[in-house]
Amino acid sequence: MQEARRIQTAVGEGKKAGAVKLGDMEILTGPYSRSTSQPLVDRLELSTVEVQGNLEVRGFNVGQPVPEIKGIPQVEKIREAIKAIDAKKNRELLARWDGYGCATYDQLQLMQAVVAARNNFHLVQATVDWIDKVEFRIDNIVAPFTDTLNVTKADHKKAVEDLNLGEWYVGRHPQVGVEFLDVTEHLWLHSSSITGALLMLRESYEAVGIVNPRFQEFELKEQKPRIAQAYGAADPGVKKVISVLNVGYHWGAFCVDVRTRKCFLFDPMHLPSNITTLKTAVRTVVEETLQLTDQLEYQEVTGCKQKDSSSCGLWCLVVLELLLFGADTKNWGDFWSDSLYEAVRYLRMRYLHKVLRLQGTLTAVEDVNA
């Protein structure tokens, strides 16, 4: 790894660094970004080759040297070989295909990392291109969403270029940085983006706890409260508790005001069935987690409605932030503006930027007890 970093630094500075080898791609097994690693990966002279035929998993022949890799097979072939060797529980075995030759387990892992990195670099470039095209009217933006109006597009793009594309952890749960890029365009937000945005809101506002959305994935009743409080929902001093839950290929949100004993429910589509799902989740798990069983008054937020097929996650975050900023169902009109419907691209770019800025401070600081 030290040699790989030396070569990476030399390449980045435009100095002579010698030939880049597959072994140097070990740099991709840790934190890496496009800004630091693409120059190194681009100098790896290994193109994709089409491997045909059946996979053979076998040991080294007597005196057989370590294989020299001259091309990278299709990613599905690489994954098949890794899985086959894992099944043998012996990482000293070789993967072999007719017409290609052999590869060790470590070489397969590095080739898989190269394929992933090349794909990730394309996604970063697509995001940078998207940022260039984002347009919005300043007078459409209302507080608290005005805090990134002065962030230049150059700064937005640099944050994306510097994004850790490798695996990193919030407590014991792995996050993959590239998944945050689904905030862009008209894409449906995935769980990593939702979790990252919730953590960003917790750090941006005072005395906020998060109910871990993953509690829904657990079947055992006794597990759910333990998972739910993983991100500090039940910590002393917490005044508001927020989360975004999957209600069936769709996101819904809730915010519990611990002091007033009110729970605000929001479904971007205003469907009674989704509100019922959210209320059931809060009543059966969150109330117990917060020691507020049968003490909450439930209110539905109806002042914002999804107008497309993919922005449910975005509007959940917007509504939660307004609730943290001081809005409620009675004074909603003092905070909400319909002009925000015209600012979807700005809002997506804002959340992306704020989550990426926070990313580097989150690694291994949470204890999720899972």
C-alpha to C-alpha distance for 244 and 189, rounded to whole angstroms:
11
**Phi, then psi, of 235 in degrees rounded to 5:** -65, 145
The pLDDT of residue 58 is 97
How large a percentage of the chain has pLDDT more than 70?
91
Mean of pLDDT values over 246-270: 97
**Is a pLDDT exceeding 80 seen at residue 12?**
no
The pLDDT of residue 367 is 38
pTM of the model: 0.89
Mean of pLDDT values over 294-304: 98
Which tens digit of pLDDT belongs to each residue from 112-154? 999 999 999 999 999 999 999 999 999 999 999 999 999 999 9
The pLDDT of residue 252 is 98
C-alpha to C-alpha distance for 293 and 284, rounded to whole angstroms:
9
The pLDDT of residue 63 is 92
Six-digit token string for 27: 């740099």
Distances, alpha carbon 295 to alpha carbons 12, 54, 166, 232, 282, in Å: 59, 62, 43, 20, 12
**Is a pLDDT exceeding 90 seen at residue 300?**
yes
Domain ranges of the chain: 2-117, 138-362
Distances, alpha carbon 211 to alpha carbons 10, 41, 233, 260, 283, in Å: 45, 39, 5, 18, 13
Query: Poorest-confidence range of 36-40, 145-149, 166-170, 249-253?
Result: 166-170
Mean of pLDDT values over 337-343: 98
Find the DSSP H helices in 229-343.
272-281, 287-289, 312-325, 332-335
How large a percentage of the chain has pLDDT more than 90?
75
Looking at CATH, the fold of the domain delimited by 138-362 is given as Adenoviral Proteinase; Chain (3.40.395)
Spell out the residues 6+ positions from residue 345 whose beta carbon is closer than 8 angstroms to its own: 134, 135, 136
Q: CB–CB of 75/112 below 8 Å?
A: yes
Q: What is the DSSP string of 107-129?
A: HHHHHHHHHHHHHHHHHHHHHHH
Which tens digit of pLDDT belongs to each residue from 14-73? 766 678 999 999 999 888 999 999 999 999 999 999 999 999 999 999 899 999 999 999
